[in-house]
Chain A
Amino acid sequence: MYFTTLQLGINMKKYQLGEFEEIVLLTVGVLYDEAYGVAIKKEIVDRLGRKVSVGALQSALRRLEKKGYLSSRKGETNSRRGGRPKLYFQITSLGQRALEHTRESRNQLWDAIPQAALKLKPAH
């Protein structure tokens, strides 16, 4: 019984995407062919000025992969990596739809805000 409700809950949210996941997904898109761990990390730091730990990034990547928003392929290595291969990520079409869905929902919300509400914002 418990499981049924839980599953329902998940299904109801069609595209589940956290804020950090969204950023990671977008960055992977930005980097296109060059999206592997260290590069994604650097891109986020450079563009958003936001600190990202390897752990947070990797767990987000793996989660996204599991949800089917990302795919990965093994790439080449170099001497700076001690012989370990790079793992490149790519946005899948499902991932793309998820991003679009998120963007749309945001836009809807933006559009719904009355002009007055934004103007009344106290100025500093």
Chain B
Amino acid sequence: MKDGIRRELGKAPLKVFQWFCRPEYHRDIEGDLIELYQDRLDEKGPGYANLMSWIDVALLFRPSIIKPISLFNPLKGPFMLKNNLKIAWRQLSKNRFVTLINLSGLIIGMTAALFIWQYVHFESSYDKFHEKSEQIFRIRTDRINDGVPFMQFAGGTAGAAPLLKKHFTQVDDYVKLRGAGEAVFSYEYGRSVRLDRVFFSMPSLFDIFSFSLVEGDEETALSEPFFACISQSTAKKLFGDEDPIGKTIMHNNSRKLQVTGVFADVPANSHIKFDILISYITFTDVIAPDAPTETSMTWDGYYSYVLLQPGTDWQDLESRIPAAIEQDYDPEIASMVALYLQPLEDIHLNSHYLFETEVNGNQRVVQFLWLIGISVLLIAWFNYINFSTANSEVRAREVGVRKVLGGTQRKLIYQFLTEATLLNIFAIAVSFLLVWLLQPFFERLIGQPVSLSIFSETNLLMITVAVLLVGTLLSGLYPAFFLSSMRPIKVLKAGAGGSQRPQSKWLSKGLVTLQFIATVILIAGTFIVNRQLKFLQDTDLGFEVDQTLIVKGPKSTDSTFVSKSNIFKQQLEQLGSVRGVAASTSIPGQAFGWTAGGVQRVGAAEDQSQSFHVMAADVEYADLYDMELVAGRHMSTEMGSDESIACLLNETGAALLDFSSPEDAVGKEIEFWGDRFMVVGVLKDFYQESAKSDIEPLVLRARPPQWDADYYSVKMSTDQLGSTLASVEESWQKVFPEDPFEHFFLNDHFNTQYESELRFSRIFSLFSGLAIFVSCLGLFALVTFTTERRKKEIGIRRVLGAKISGIVRMISMDFVRMILLALILATPLCWYAMNLWLEGFANRVNIPWWYFAIAGSITLIVALLPVSLQSIRAALLNPADTLKNE
């Protein structure tokens, strides 16, 4: 005991000891510990004494000393959970109004966030289920004209994958698939299905991807011609309970296929989905004999995937592809094609090329939704922070009394955090329930199935709950610190008013401004999305789609097809209600299907050839669809030669072939694929698929009668669609008895073409609405508090002669200022974000500045409504009532 300073055993070892010791023992054993410490201190100094105390405590940790598990009670101890819970419950049920607003805000915010979270998770989970997904790359093709890519295909050329395998040792394996087109598959009489997800596939598919056979041998199932693997659900449809292996099915009533394997249905989050796989060798050796299907660089449409060795620098490999092409091919061919690699996992959200295997998702849309989800959730939490701090008047006295009676700040923080947690956990539970209940509705809204992955995937569930809890803690921390830091003397003496700190006002103003920013952005965003959608819908596509019945052409075609097709057309034309019939390879709303390189004017130099979309149609086609001509005439049955040599160009096409004007093109000859055609007219540019994409050069050539008719377009002249449809079907049954009658009305088809935009607009509107609603809730509560606090001030002002309008203005001005600030900040943000979205459209609207003015005004009105209501109410109170309680 030097210098008279008495050293004492530190608190830490005793705390630890207390924590585990049986309560009835700890007093006297502690005494022993302290006494021993003193003895050792005198003997050998503090270091030794301290160390020995720790060792003693550690050695005391033995069964007979440790308290029974039942006494380790979280409800007691330093957090006083039981007490806090009780008080939290009392507070929440006492302030019903605040609790209700807080809860509904949190529940709406969390439910929205959970839905969006789930959707985003699903969209970004595409193709990740393949074990080697990170090593798999798709080869895609650009067709180049004069150094400029003019067509970008999702598939590779026939020779692309073999070329890569040959030149690069990093390529372990490859697989090529080729779409086999829509077809009818039948087994026995009456058991048939029409499927469009049909591919020719190499056997290596099973090695590269994680698709696998449930029945059959993966090695051999696709190794011979006319072998086919079918999905489980297709097997069910065709064979019922029979064992499909070894059975024979008919492909379009003309080709026999032997079923050699059954695979599990392709998961919804695969970018390529198939119901039937036919061995690739069927296609190469039998259907297209002698075709250069392993070397051609001019033949497009082979979905090609390569498996690279782990750790391969794919971008480096991609950059060396042009050299490989030049090595193996003529310079002319090499200059017309470019091959690129796409990481498999990026395809779904980032690939939008020609002939994708399905319509892919949109990274931007996913990001937008993600942001909206976060915004709604944040707004709800901001509300919580704002209420709790604004509500501090009510709690100030409580805090003061607690502190006077010995409550520490830490204990108060625990108490306020308990309140926040209780509220949030309840909200989380309700939101999960809501997600579960509303799932079908949400799926309808977004138009695709989304698995309830937050319930099935533990990881996702854990992360979700963790995020929600961290948010709870963060949103609870500020109010907890703020409320617990109030000085008892001040709040007890000065009453409520003394508690408000200037910085808390700033914080709450800042948060409200942030909420307004989000609101303005969401309102303006909703406007812009809808404007673009309306623009697309209102754009004149360039043809008439009303009263048009489309009948899909027969799939089983043979030598009798030409005469049958003519009979069918004639029978329909004889119907009084039919204005005309035309068969074609494509119809409005569908991709043109074919492309042709080497289109040129007769006599022009070889290097002036161009690439065009090509479509073949009966001569009546363009006239039937009321397509407008800018020069020349429509093709016609009256000109006998039209059927073999006539063609139409569109304006873009005429310009591409260097005709000085549309008139100039009429009567000139062009050639491609070794045939010559006479340009009889030039069509005004029209949007074949939708106004979303650009107009591309087109040759519309007369359809030789022996060619397959993919579609019959039947134009009706009356509105009696029902009865006409019946007659059409009757004719079909007579002429093509083996084929199912499949039809649709073209305008229905067109109504679905903006489906993804419609969906986006619906989701955007819904979640924006929710966000706005939640921030209004918050605003309403905030104004209620503000007026409540200023009741006396308003009373005095009234007594001194202030007008009601003056008082309303005084209270509203604060909010108006915040909204104006938010508008200024939100405008550039929103403008930037919406431009990102609009970039995805070839034809897009501009964003008018006054949209932001409208969005601001709406926000202002929506915000001022509760503000003025509350302030009028406060102003109307009799000053005698508000002032008498002193």
Contact = CB atoms under 8 A, between A and B. Distances in A.
Contacts of A87: 28, 31
Contact of A85 (B27, B38, B39): B27
A53 interface: yes
B131 interface: no
Given A53-B55, A74-B28, A84-B30, A58 B35 contact: no
B59 A56 contact: yes
A81 B34 CA distance: 5
Contacts of A86: 28, 31
Nearest to B8: A82
B19 interface: no
Interface in B1-52: 8-9, 25, 27-36, 38-39
A84 B25 contact: no
Contacts of B349: none
Given A37-B32, A80-B38, A84-B30, A62 B56 contact: no
Interface in A62-88: 62-63, 74, 77, 80-82, 84-87
Contact of A84 (B31, B55, B58, B59): B31
A82 B38 CA distance: 10
A80 B35 contact: yes
B252 to A, nearest CB: 75
A77 B35 CA distance: 10
B456 to A, nearest CB: 42
B60 interface: yes
B25 A62 contact: yes
Given A62-B64, A80-B38, A81-B34, A53 B56 contact: yes
A54 B64 contact: no
Counting contact residues on chain A (CB < 8 A from B), the size range is 20 to 34
Interface in A30-61: 36-38, 41, 53-56, 58-59
A85 B33 CA distance: 12
Question: Would you call the interface of chain A mostly helix, strand, loop, or mixed?
Answer: helix
Nearest to B36: A38
Contact of B56 (A36, A55, A82, A85): A55
A29 B376 CA distance: 75
Secondary structure dominating the interface of B: helix
B863 to A, nearest CB: 61
A77 B32 CA distance: 11
B76 interface: no
B34 A82 contact: yes
Contacts of A81: 31-32, 34-35
B97 interface: no
A84 B56 contact: no
B65 interface: yes
B785 to A, nearest CB: 49
B61 interface: yes
Contacts of B34: 80-82, 84
Contacts of B61: 55
A76 to B, nearest CB: 11
Contacts of B63: 59
A61 to B, nearest CB: 9
Given A81-B35, A84-B34, A53 B59 contact: yes
B85 to A, nearest CB: 33
B62 interface: yes
Nearest to A62: B64
A21 B9 CA distance: 29
Contact of A54 (B8, B38, B39, B56): B56
Contacts of A77: 31
A85 B28 contact: yes
A102 B32 CA distance: 30
A64 B29 CA distance: 16
Contacts of B55: 53
The 7 closest A-B pairs by CB, nearest first: A84-B31, A55-B59, A87-B28, A37-B32, A55-B60, A81-B31, A59-B64
Interface of B: 8-9, 25, 27-36, 38-39, 55-56, 58-65
Interface of A: 36-38, 41, 53-56, 58-59, 62-63, 74, 77, 80-82, 84-87
Given A37-B28, A59-B62, A62-B25, 6 more contacts: A41-B36, A55-B56, A55-B59, A62-B64, A77-B31, A85-B27
17 contacts: A36-B28, A37-B28, A38-B35, A38-B36, A53-B56, A54-B33, A55-B60, A59-B60, A59-B64, A62-B25, A62-B64, A74-B28, A80-B35, A82-B30, A85-B31, A87-B28, A87-B31
